[in-house]
Amino acid sequence: MTDPKAQAMAVLQKNHLRVTKQRKTLIDLLVANPDRYVSVTEVDKHMRQAFPGASHNTVYRNLEEFQEIGLVELSSQSGGMVVKYRCDESHHHHFICQRCGRVQEIQLPTIDWDFLTQQLPGAEITGHSFELYGLCAQCRQLASH
């Protein structure tokens, strides 16, 4: 299996984005949390501690660029924007534990796009998101004690 950080660096270079100390630090943070979303506020705090001159706009712009090239998934949750390192390039969906924040990939049956577009005459579907929320097995076991 390829090293996630090396894979991320290769994606940056392939997309003609400079590999800077700030981007390496950002990737290190995200790769260190492969099974959970990290709040953008937490990312911003981490980056501004590592690089006191970094602005929130710079951090967010890097996250948006990373999303555009498929390195991360940005999502809006009740607590605000969150980000997760994207471990592969295939489209997938998640179960997210509301207690510990752990993210598990789930597989869904094929979506019947014809059925959906028939319900939305004249509309153009440009994407979708499907996430399940609840307690993971470990948190559910802790809650029952």
Tell me: is residue 139 an annotated ligand-binding position: yes
Rounded to an integer, what distance in angstroms lies between the CA atom of residue 81 and that of residue 74? 7
The pLDDT of residue 68 is above 80: yes
The pLDDT of residue 89 is above 60: no
The answer to whether 103 touches 36, Cβ cutoff 8 Å, is yes
Rg (CA), the chain: 17
Tell me: is residue 87 an annotated ligand-binding position: no
Task: Enumerate the CATH 3.30.1490.190 domain ranges in the chain, comma separated.
Answer: 93-143
Min mean pLDDT across 21-30, 70-79, 134-143 is at 70-79
Looking up tokens 């998934």, which residue turns up?
A: 73
Name the superfamily (CATH) of residues 93-143.
Ferric-uptake regulator, C-terminal dimerisarion domain (3.30.1490.190)
Tell me: is residue 128 an annotated ligand-binding position: yes
Class of domain 4-85: mainly alpha
**pLDDT, mean over the chain:** 86
Provide the pLDDT confidence category of residue 88 given band limits of 50, 70 and 90.
low
Residue 104 confidence (pLDDT): 82
Task: Classify strands 80-85 and 38-39 as parallel, antiparallel or unpaired.
Answer: antiparallel
Task: Enumerate the CATH 1.10.10.10 domain ranges in the chain, comma separated.
Answer: 4-85
Q: To 10 degrees, the CA torsion angle through 41, 42, 44, 48? A: 140
Per residue in 96-107, pLDDT (tens digit) is 888 887 888 787
Residue 26 confidence (pLDDT): 96
- Percentage with pLDDT > 90 across the chain: 41
Tell me: is residue 97 an annotated ligand-binding position: yes
Tell me: is residue 100 an annotated ligand-binding position: yes
